[in-house]
Amino acid sequence: MLRQLAKASLPLSSTAGFHRSSAVPKSLEHEFYLTLSQDISKELKHRGMLDTKTRRIVITGVGTISPLGTDTKEVFDKAMQGETGVRPVVVEDDDDDDDNNIAYQKYGIHYCSDVPFHWKQDCDSLCGGLERAKSPAVRFAEYATLKSLLQADWNPTGDYDKFRTGVCIGNSMVDLDYIAKSHSLVTSGKGKKVSPYFVPRILCNMASGFVAIRHGFRGPNHTASTACSTGAHSIGDAFFFIKSGQADVMVAGGTDTCINALSLVGFNRLRALSTKFVDDPRRASRPFDKDRDGFVMAEGAAVLVLEELQHALKRGANIYCEVIGYGASCDADHITAAKPDGAGALLAVMRAFSNANVMEDIDDELWLVNAHATSTPLGDVAEMNAVRGCLGLIESHQDFWNVRIPHNGPYVTAHKSNLGHMIGAAGAIESSLAAISLQTGQIPGILNLDEPEEGIGKGVQLVRESIYESEKKRDTRRLVLKNSFGFGGTNVSLLFAEYIPGSKLSAK
C-alpha cells in the first residue's frame, strides 16, 4: 500500500526537473482559471459559514522514520518495552566514512541515535526523483508523510480537497556536509562543479515544498525553523491554519538529519552532548537522572495529519486524539541555555491552556506531561519549574482554568531517553507518541532514570516503569501537555485531549 501511494502521488513535474515549457494552450488556460475561480468561490462561501470558535481539530494519521523504526506504533511499543536507538557512532552510507570516523574519535564523539541504514535505503527507494535537489531531511519528511497519509487514509484526488489541504513541515538544520563540500569546490577553483540545485537543497522550507508538489496540496504551505522546538511549532501553526478556516487538513511535523562530523563537533563544543557513557551508550540519555550530562544526537522525521473534526467524521477517519491548545513564548534571556526559573516556558504552557476548548459534559484532567527533557543538567530543571508553576496556577484558580490535577500530580514521561534528540523532528515524534498514549491509555517509562535528581520530581509522578491504564474507568477527559524548547529561548507548548465521541463544546 505504501509503495502504491508513493507511485500514485508522484507527479510528472517532480521527476522531470525544474525546467518546463511556458507554452500553455489557450483552451487549457481558460479551463484552469475557470476551475480555480470556482474553487476559490467555494472556499470563500465555506469559510463564510464557519464558526472558527467551534472548529475542533483532531489527529488522524502519524508517520515516522526514526532510530527505533518506521512505524509509529512500533516505535511506541519499543519505547514501552524500554528499548533505545542509542548506539556507538558509525557512518554507514557516506563516501567519506574514514574522514568522519577519524573526526569523531579525535573530538570525543562516541555515540548517537541514528536511523539504521536499511531503513534509509527503503526511504530512498520510495522518495526518489530529483535526488540532487533533495537533502536527506527532505527525503525523510516525504517518507514520514507517505506513512501518515496512508494511516489517515487521505489521498485526495479532487481539486477542492487538495485546495483545502496544506503542509507545515519544519526543518531546523540544513545539510552541513553538503554545504561544506560545495564550499570546498568553490575555494579550490572548481566552482562549476557546484550543483545547480545547491540553493534549493539547503532551504529549510523544501520539505514542505516537495511534499506539497508530490501530492498536489495547494493549501497553506509553511515552514517553522525554531531549533529544537521546530516540530511542535509546526503542529501548532497547522492547528491555527485549520482553526482559522484556511484549511480542513494539514500535514504537519518536523525533520532533521544532524548526524555528521561538523554538526556533532559543533554541539560538543557547546558542551551540549553526553560524553561520559562510552562504555555503555544505551545509558547515555537519562532525563531527570542525577547523572545526566547532556543529550544524545538523533535523526529522523515525524509527520502528523491534523484534520477538522467534522471533516474527519464525515469520511470515517480513525481519530487518535484532539489538539486543543497551542502556546508560544520566548525566554529573552540566553541564546542556548534555558531560563533557570522556567518563567518563559511557563508563559507558553499557560497560553496553551488559555485557548483550549472546554467540554460541557465532562471535566478535564491533566493526565500526562510529555516533557521536552533533553537530559541536560539545566534544561530539565527549568522545565520542571515551569510545570510546577503551571500546576500551582491551575490549582489556585480552578474556577478559571477548569482543569483537574490528580492528587499525586500528573504523570511525566520523556521519550528522548529512548530516541535521543531528533532536533527539528523531536517535538513532532513526541507528539505522535503522546497521541498514541491518549488513544491507548499507555505511557512509556523514562529509560535510565535510576535516581532522579533531588527535588526534580516534586509535585509530579515521574514515570520510571511503563504504565498501562487502558481499562481504568474515569469521569474525566485526559489531557496531555507537550513541551518543546529551543536555542534562542524559544518555547512552545501543545495541549492534546482524549477524543470522546459525542462530546460537545461548552458555551463558556
| Residue 8 in domain | no
- Could you give phi then psi for residue 330, rounded to 5 degrees? -140, 140
| Residue 431 in domain | yes
Residue 420 and residue 294: Cα distance in Å, rounded? 10
* Cell digits of residue 279: 562504555
- Cα 273 from chain centre: 21
| Residue 42 in domain | no
pLDDT tens profile 225-273: 999 999 999 999 999 999 999 999 999 999 999 999 999 999 999 999 9
Active site residue 222: no
Read out DSSP for 18-48? S-------HHHHHHHHHHHHHHHHHHHHHHH
Which pTM does this prediction carry? Answer: 0.91
Which of 112, 204, 228, 390 is catalytic? The answer is: 228
Pairing relation of β-strands 321-330 and 299-308? unpaired
pLDDT tens profile 268-303: 999 999 999 999 999 999 999 999 999 999 999 999
Which of 222, 233, 311, 372 is catalytic? The answer is: 372
| Residue 3 in domain | no
Angle between helices 261-269 and 176-187 in degrees, nearest 10: 110
pLDDT tens profile 339-369: 999 999 999 999 999 988 888 888 999 999 9
pLDDT tens profile 68-114: 999 999 999 999 999 999 999 876 555 556 677 888 889 999 999 99
Number of domains in the chain: 1
Active site residue 183: no
Angle between helices 426-440 and 230-243 in degrees, nearest 10: 60
| Residue 211 in domain | yes
| Residue 50 in domain | no
Domain enclosing residue 288, as ranges: 55-497
Helix then strand count (H, E) for the chain reads 18, 16
| Residue 24 in domain | no
Q: What CATH number is attached to the domain comprising 60? A: 3.40.47.10
Q: Buried (b) or exposed (e) across 284-297, using 16+ Cβ within 10 A?
A: bbbbbbeebbbbbb
| Residue 45 in domain | no
Active site residue 372: yes
For residue 396, pLDDT over 80 is answered with yes
